[in-house]
């Protein structure tokens, strides 16, 4: 099941072997500094600029937490209930687009 980033994007499924919950950004607290985006490992590539917002696709987030210490305002939180909260469909336009910072 979707071991590579491209496969996870195509299937829109998170790797079930990842033990940690994904994280989310509280956009009302975010200052759009992109520090989290720069610290997200490219093999996961879960954080994107989406218009004025910075977003995390939970299906691509391994929960590695490398973004947490990078955030100067601590607006990144665990997202254990991610499966019950669908992300907007237009968020899926970011991965593998010309603006994808991980390709």
| Category of 55 on φ-ψ map: left (φ > 0), alpha (ψ -120 to 50) or beta | beta
pLDDT in tens, 66-97: 999 999 999 999 999 999 899 999 999 999 99
The overall average pLDDT reported for the chain is 95
Domain edges within the chain: 5-93
CB atoms under 10 Å from CB of 41, counted, come to: 13
pLDDT in tens, 29-60: 999 999 999 999 999 999 999 999 999 999 99
The reported pLDDT for the residue numbered 1 is: 52
Q: What's 43's DSSP letter?
A: T
Domain 5-93, classified CATH 3.30.70.20, yes or no = yes
The reported pLDDT for the residue numbered 2 is: 56
């Amino acid at each position: 099941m979707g071991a590579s980033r491209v496969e996870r994007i195509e299937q829109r499924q998170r790797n079930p072997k990842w033990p940690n919950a994904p994280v989310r950004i509280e956009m009302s607290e975010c200052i759009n500094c992109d520090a989290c985006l720069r610290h997200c490992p490219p093999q996961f590539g879960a954080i994107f600029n989406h218009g004025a917002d910075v977003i995390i696709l939970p299906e691509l987030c391994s929960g590695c937490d490398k973004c947490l210490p990078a955030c100067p305002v601590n607006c990144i939180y665990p997202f254990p209930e991610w499966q019950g909260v669908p992300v907007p469909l237009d968020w899926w336009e970011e991965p593998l687009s010309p603006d994808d910072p991980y390709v």
